Amino acid sequence: MRIVFLGTASSKPTTDRNVSSIALHYRGDIVLFDCGEGTQRQMVRRVKQSRISKICVTHFHGDHYLGIPGLLMTMSLNGRRRPLYIYGPPGTATFLSHLLHSGYMDVGFDVRVEEVYDTMIPCKGYSIRVFPVDHGVPAVGYAFIEDTRRGTFDRKKAHEFGIHGEMFAELEKKGEITVDGTKVTLQDVTGPPKKGKIVTYSGDTRPVSFPPETKGSSVLIHEATFISPEDRDGTYHSTVKEACEAARSMEAPLLVLTHLNSRYEPEQLQRAADEHCDDAVVAYDFLEIEI
Ligand SMILES: [Zn+2]
């Protein structure tokens, strides 16, 4: 699983940062979380847009979705035919309909829009937990949850059961095999199942409690728009300290801070993170994390 940060600025682009977008690569598939203006330009040479199967929008503030029409146009020009799924909070269908009818846009593939709020989206090999957050407008966060994986295959044990040659393929396919009258199941010859990895993305929010499924996330990507609570000035955003507390509450070993305010230098943010967290990284555009 590889996470590529395509935009890490809050509100507006700067010389070093574009607005919000994160591409999560998983087995040849890409799930894009948010798609601020200029996201497709950020993708060049780093993210194959043809592989994007889903765009998960956290909310409809401009810096999180205005890159969608341009990206869709490019996908269409590149001959995309397979459908694209777009998820977002209540209101998404109306907003996207406006976007897609805002000019002579001719998208040559199906755009399947689904409004989500507090639910689980089952996908192949993983699910996406959608949960409400607190941002003053309909807004959600997302957790990418990999399915539990089969334990490691124990070849020695399999041999002891008398399994050899083509019998492996049969066992793999049917989940069980009979050897000299004895039934051997796949579980008999594999170790304990491995818990899948979890990547949680907060989107824009004031501190909230995250759903239980996010417990034990491998990575929490949390917005940290402010350092001091005074700077927040009534807006629906979080501070570095609050992001650290969220990471602690879900026992995430790694916290990545994003949606960063241009008033702070990265060093300032990192110092604040080091003060409150054991393992926090201040994101920058094109940061890649392999988990
Ligand atoms: Zn926002």
Q: What length is written for the chain?
A: 291
Quick one: pLDDT at residue 170?
A: 87
CATH of the domain at 102: 3.60.15.10
122 lies in the same domain as 177: no
162 shares its domain with 286: no
Q: Compute the average pLDDT of residues 218-222.
A: 98
* Model pLDDT, residue 276: 94
Verify that 68 and 118 share a domain, yes or no: yes
pLDDT digits (tens, 9 = 90+) for 65-100: 999 999 999 999 999 999 999 999 999 999 999 999
> How many domains are contained in the chain?
2
182 in the same domain as 44? no
Residues 127, 52 share a domain = yes
The reply to whether 160 and 143 lie within a common domain is no
pLDDT, one tens digit per residue, over 138-168 is 999 999 999 998 888 888 888 888 888 888 8
| Ligand 1 mean position, distance from CA 59 (Å) | 7
* Predicted pLDDT at 17: 96
Whether residues 109 and 218 fall in one domain: yes
Task: Kindly state whether residues 245 and 160 are assigned to the same domain.
Answer: no
- Asked which of 167, 189, 211 is the last residue of a domain, the reply is 189
220 and 130 assigned to the same domain: yes
259 C-alpha vs ligand 1 centroid, how far in Å?
9
Model confidence band, residue 108 (pLDDT cutoffs 50, 70, 90): very high
Per-residue pLDDT at 155: 85
pLDDT tens readout for residues 8-43:
999 999 999 999 999 999 999 999 999 999 999 999
Tell how far the Cα of 21 is from the centroid of ligand 1, in angstroms: 13
More reliable by pLDDT, 165 or 252: 252
Is the pLDDT reported for residue 173 higher than 90?
no
| pTM for the structure as a whole | 0.91
Residues that are catalytic: 63
Same domain, residue pair 92 and 167:
no
In this structure, are 31 and 85 located in the same domain? yes
What's CA 186's distance to the chain center, in Å? 31
Q: How many Å lie between the centroid of ligand 1 and the Cα of residue 214?
A: 22
Same domain, 162 and 205: no
Per the structure, the complete domain to which residue 176 belongs is given by 155-189
**pLDDT in the model for residue 157:** 87
